A and B are shown apart, each in its own frame.
Chain A
Amino acid sequence: MTSTSLELERALEVKGLNVWLGEKQILHNITFKVNRGEILAIMGPSGSGKSTLLRAISRLLDHRTDARVRGEVLINGINVYTTNPYKARKYIGIVFQNPNPFPHMTIYDNIAVGPKLHKLVRSKTELDNLVRWALKSAMLWDDVKEKLNSYPAELSGGQQQRLCLARALAMRPKLLLLDEPTANIDPVNAKKIENIVKKMSREESVAVVIVTHTPAQAMRISDKVLFLFNGKTIEYGPTQVVASNPDHDLTQSFLRGEI
């Protein structure tokens, strides 16, 4: 079957994933793969289950008592649903739709806390370097280098979102999960975030799953797209192919901005 090198290549594999919230089935039999250095865009109209999919991958649904999940999620070849979820999340960086830096922690601590808790660094110097690297990667270093000990409330919304991105990057993740990261911020910051994500996947071989409801964004940054509608996979394939020659009418109308 798959060789070891292939498994290492494969950062995320989702097999036959079904999710229920209460009585309602939100996701039906979702299957896809993301390799290292690859960007998958999950697109679909609101209510199609995109965010739930990201939460199922990262086991954030565990904390919802009404959620049920069936299927497999493999991150780095490890089944997330049969291991300690906190250990599994060590390889994941997550950025949410709304900027959510920890308001009670300084800018520095917001980034340092994850690596510290997961024991990714051995010394203060190493931690300092990691924080600086993450902030530079998120194009935020010049904005905040003078106020690492201030609180995130001092930053603009777009800066806060880049802080959240830096927080995710500081985990040196194998997999980056982004839930409409640019939906609620200004176009300039949105552009920056897209560039950072592209760079991370190219230069650091991070696998990226980005949820978006704008087809244009999916086209701009992704290698593969998965089009979700009412919790079902309508189309899944290389971005170029789906964009130029979609199989399904629904995909066409979504790309034309009709749904």
Chain B
Amino acid sequence: MKICVLVKEVPDAAVEKRIDPSTGRMDRSGERNLNPYDTHAIEAAMQIKEGGAVEVDEIVAVTMGPASAVRALHKAVSLGADRSVHLSDDALAGSDVAATGYALAQTLERESPDLVLLGQQSDDGECYTIGAVLADHLRMPSLTQVIKMDVVEGKLTCERQAEYGYDTVEIRTPAVISVGDAINEPRYPSLKAIMGAKKKPLEALGAGDVGVDISKVGAEGSQVDCGTFKAPPAKQAGTIIEDEDTIETVGKIVAWLDERKLI
């Protein structure tokens, strides 16, 4: 079985957020890192490989993004992927979800994976939808938010929480699965793996290499135009208490609750 894991480079959430005063928008520049949700997808691939129920030939990390995104690939490889693929092209800049999914599908088409794994959401995009877009292009069955997955040759048994409780779904591979963050506890890379990551094969591809029709990607090719932005309705900022003396803190909380007749 061949597994492709999709990974993305996102702004590091641990870095303090800053609103750009000129635009009123969140400043997302600064440190970037592997999307934390994707580490669960890599771990899921590793557990299938180590589980022994099926033979895993290869785990391939795939990303679409600017030059800096190679760091996300190095991280993915340090967590266990055997090699990686980087789709990068100026023509892809500004692609919406559907266009991104299409370009990634074209890239995956060349790999013919038996299983494509994704994280549940990208920390910056928050679309939770790339998996479903991919699956339709790849003509594969798909499920998102999977928190338990049993794999045998040709078949996956997946559990996930949907609107009415937990569902159990059986899927015949090849398939596209996005995993929820409760599926596993990702391992930390060893120092040796971090050092060795840059030596593993990394294939850099442009849109033309994977047969992406340029008219369907980028800002021009995207079907949604989200050009205008506005600030959300102003909300009265809440009171913030830094807990230093806990007795004092709880005194303030009790007074606050009491004032509002909540106790």
- A, B assembled together: no
A interface residue numbers (CB < 8 A to B): none
